[in-house]
Amino acid sequence: MSDDPTFRIAGSAGAGAVESVRARVADRLARGIYDAEEIARVKAASLHTFTGDDTTAEIFRRCCVTWEVDRPPKITSHRAWIGAPLVAMKRVVRRLLRFQTEAQLSRQRDFNWNLLLLLREILEKDGRPS
């Protein structure tokens, strides 16, 4: 497995993850979901790895997950009989106010995305030997 550059082991749980991914890819190839050309394209893509410590890696992972600020949160209620009308009202209010915040959130999302790209470049250059 260590001579196969297609899958890289990350941490102690990596070996199980590698085998799970191999099995899913083989299954999807057999069912025709993936084709050999797609696999070759993914293999040829450059892999961006993070070489920082665990704390920094977790912070960077959270940034990657939460950069999209205009994704609306799910509206729910724990109240039994009045919960459904409250949720309906909140959804209507959200739709009415969306036009007030849409432009600012869009600009914030673009800023977050560009900042993430810049951070990734800085981290990659920091990890490369000079």
When comparing pLDDT for 94 and 123, which is higher? 94
Per-residue pLDDT band for 70 (boundaries 50, 70, 90) equals: low
Q: What pLDDT is stored for residue 1 in this prediction?
A: 41
CB under 8 Å to 119, separation ≥6 — which residues? 60, 63
Is residue 86 within 8 A of residue 79, CB to CB? The reply is: yes
Is residue 50 within 8 A of residue 57, CB to CB? The reply is: yes
Share of the chain above pLDDT 90, in %: 4
Can you say whether the dihedral through the CA atoms of 116, 64, 17, 42 is positive or negative?
A: negative
Which tokens in the block code for residue 101?
Answer: 């915040």
Does pLDDT of 117 surpass 60?
yes
Does pLDDT of 125 surpass 60?
yes
In the chain, domain spans: 1-47, 50-130
Which tokens in the block code for residue 40?
Answer: 């070759």
Other CB atoms closer than 10 Å to residue 115's CB: what's the count?
Answer: 12
| Of the candidates 121, 129, 130, the residue with the CA atom closest to the CA atom of residue 50 | 121
Q: Please give the C-alpha separations between residue 19 and each of 3, 9, 53, in angstroms, as whole numbers.
A: 15, 10, 25
Q: What is the mean pLDDT of residues 11-36?
A: 82
Q: What pLDDT is stored for residue 96 in this prediction?
A: 86
Instruction: Calculate the average pLDDT of the chain.
Output: 78
Query: Each residue of 34-60: pLDDT tens digit?
Result: 888 888 888 888 766 666 677 777 777
SS3 36: helix
Q: What is the mean pLDDT of residues 73-94?
A: 87
Can you say whether the dihedral through the CA atoms of 34, 40, 45, 49 is positive or negative?
A: positive
